[in-house]
Chain A
Amino acid sequence: MALLELDDLTKRYGGIVAVDHVTMRIEAGEVRAVIGPNGAGKTSLFHLITGVVKATEGSVRFADQDVSALPAHVRCQRGMSRTFQLTSLFPEMSARENTRLAAQARDAKRWMPLGGGAVFQSAAQRGDAALERLGLTHVAGRPAGLLSHGDQRLLEVAMALAQQPRLLLLDEPTQGLSVEETAQAVEVLSALFASGELTVLLVEHDMEVVFRLAHKITVLHRGSVIADGDPDTVKADEGVQNAYLGGFA
């Protein structure tokens, strides 16, 4: 059974169709990349899946339930955790506090107004584990706003991971990184995905990154899916070559 199913998902802004009848299935344990040129609707698709924006038509099914009508924070509670295209952190809190607050969101007693030592403790445990998996333990005590850009990108992934999500959504995880930083981030991420316990949907610009990380690739062009399959099939696809890859492979 697919973990995430998109059916005829469409988003119109007035006359502009940002996402055009997209149908997609993501199986548990899969690492899927969505690629496409600028303005292809990748980020819009992300917003529709996570509930930041409501679809004009079509449905989003997550873990066998229709979540189309649910607001973003409820979908997150069901097990979707995301990162943002532009780094979004709590800059004055330490890296550890960032992951702790992320993990706390998954605790039934996250709202406790008094006491709550146990809530903090278990959240900190999950947060620290996530920091370690992304190799950030050495900067855990530093304010997030003072970390290097590369570490900030990874910290955002750590925050999502600390929530122990069923579906991890990464919006351009290497956006704005230098060549070396990108190589490092890809190293860390591929080690993370190698375990096979995560289901990942990632939007990415950098083709090298995509072909290193993804098991399957969906190509968007002007809001609709023009190809779908494993990396080699997609690379060989003529339509994709014309629309996007421009002879990359």
Chain B
Amino acid sequence: MRLLLAAAALLALLPFGLPPYAMTLLTEALILGLFAMSLDLMVGYARLISFGHAAAYGFGAYASGNFLLHTSMPLPCAVLLAGLLGGIVAIGVGWVCTQATGISFSMLTLAYAQLLYAVAFKWTPVTGASDGLAGIPRNPGPFGVTWWSTHAGFYYLTLAFLLGAFVFCRQLVRSPFGAVLRGIRENEAKTIALGYNTRRYKIAIVAISFGVAGLAGALYAPFAGFANTELLFWLLSGQVLIMVIVGGAGTLVGPVLGAMFFLYVQQKLSSYTDSWALFFGVIFILFVLFMPEGIWGLIQSRFKQKTV
């Protein structure tokens, strides 16, 4: 807990010491961290593997993009509303996908993402088709509040969303609801036999997870100023799954670190070679083989050793 407060304080102080380029990178890392954290709710706590999490991210990005382009809704409201909308739509998605279990569930999530991807190419008035949405503004709030339109301001807004979502998710996984999720993860048949309607819990966690992922996507659109079909592509779904596993599934904090690590390594490697993904693949395999607990697991075991 103290470690987390320290990390939050450090993140809050960073804008004072970093060049604008690094700030941009860090903001993107936090957005991806929020995205990865949302997937961890499903993967780490209920063992529901989503291969289509980009669907939620892209949905949020297009939703907030449209709100910001076509209305004068203040930026934070647009982000919240986009996340909420994504979560509500995901109730239906969860209802369909949880008809199946295991790998079939994962395939249905992938199918949903590919469906949105296809729709985004055709529904020009809303998505701009292959051009995407460009020039997405950071709308001001009432009384001329505009602090989030600067580099540092947007960073703080992102940080606030990340911390808020983290506190929410942590409460969630520690609640009676979260205990049932862990039951589903370890032994779903037994959880049903104990009298839990596990399907409802699964639909709920899909909706919440997609909603939080929607927040991340909704932040990305005004961050980058555009939204395009790549945000719905399966490649992103795969990458975010890698961030969760490398960071440490089932920890909430780990996936955020995983996202930062991913982005950092991507930046470093891609300045040397175009086939950086190949090298990251090797790193991923090494993690799975030798550090299945991920980065956060490693940090925690170090800490325990020191305090013992």
Binding site for B on A (CB under 8 A): 50, 52, 72-74, 76-77, 81-82, 84, 88-93, 97, 100-102, 104-107, 109-116, 119-120, 123, 159, 163
Q: Which of B179, B190, B204 meets A88, CB within 8 Å?
A: B190
A76 to B192, CA, bound (A): 9
11 further A-B contacts with Cβ under 8 Å, apart from A73-B197, A76-B193, A89-B190, are A72-B192, A72-B193, A88-B187, A88-B193, A100-B179, A110-B176, A111-B201, A112-B175, A115-B171, A116-B175, A116-B177
A107 to B204, CA, bound (A): 19
Residues of A within 8 A of B195 (CB): 73-74, 76-77, 81, 105-106, 163
Scan B230-269; emit 1 where CB is below 8 A from any A CB, else 0. 0000000000000000000000000000000000000000
Q: Are A113 and B172 in contact (CB under 8 A)?
A: yes
A116 to B176, CA, bound (A): 6
A81 to B176, CA, bound (A): 20
A222 to B193, CA, bound (A): 27
Q: Which residue of A lies closest to B208 (CB)?
A: A113
Q: Are B176 and A102 in contact (CB under 8 A)?
A: no
Q: Are B172 and A76 in contact (CB under 8 A)?
A: no
B115 within 8 A of A: no
Q: Which residue of B lies closest to A118 (CB)?
A: B176
Query: Given contacts A88-B189, A91-B186, A93-B186, are A159 and B176 in contact (CB under 8 A)?
Result: no
Distance in angstroms from A164 CB to nearest chain B CB is 12
Q: Is the interface of A mostly helix, strand, loop or mixed?
A: loop
B180 within 8 A of A: yes
Residues of A within 8 A of B180 (CB): 101, 104, 110-111
Distance in angstroms from B42 CB to nearest chain A CB is 15
Q: Are B196 and A105 in contact (CB under 8 A)?
A: yes
Q: Is the interface of B mostly helix, strand, loop or mixed?
A: helix
Residues of A within 8 A of B190 (CB): 84, 88-90
Residues 152-199 (chain B) with a chain A CB within 8 angstroms: 171-172, 175-180, 182-183, 186-187, 189-198
Binding site for A on B (CB under 8 A): 171-172, 175-180, 182-183, 186-187, 189-198, 200-201, 204
Residues of B within 8 A of A111 (CB): 176-177, 180, 200-201
Q: Are A120 and B189 in contact (CB under 8 A)?
A: no
Query: Given contacts A89-B187, A92-B186, are A104 and B176 in contact (CB under 8 A)?
Result: yes
Distance in angstroms from A167 CB to nearest chain B CB is 13
A107 to B182, CA, bound (A): 17
Q: Are B177 and A73 in contact (CB under 8 A)?
A: no
Distance in angstroms from A11 CB to nearest chain B CB is 19
A90 to B184, CA, bound (A): 9
Distance in angstroms from B302 CB to nearest chain A CB is 22
Query: Given contacts A90-B186, A91-B186, A92-B186, are A76 and B194 in contact (CB under 8 A)?
Result: yes
Q: Are A114 and B171 in contact (CB under 8 A)?
A: yes
Residues of A within 8 A of B191 (CB): 101
Q: Are A163 and B194 in contact (CB under 8 A)?
A: yes
Residues of B within 8 A of A112 (CB): 175-177
5 A-B interface contacts by CB (under 8 A): A90-B186, A90-B190, A100-B179, A101-B182, A116-B175
A110 to B189, CA, bound (A): 18
Q: Are A120 and B192 in contact (CB under 8 A)?
A: no
A50 to B195, CA, bound (A): 11
Q: Are B175 and A114 in contact (CB under 8 A)?
A: yes
Residues of B within 8 A of A72 (CB): 192-193
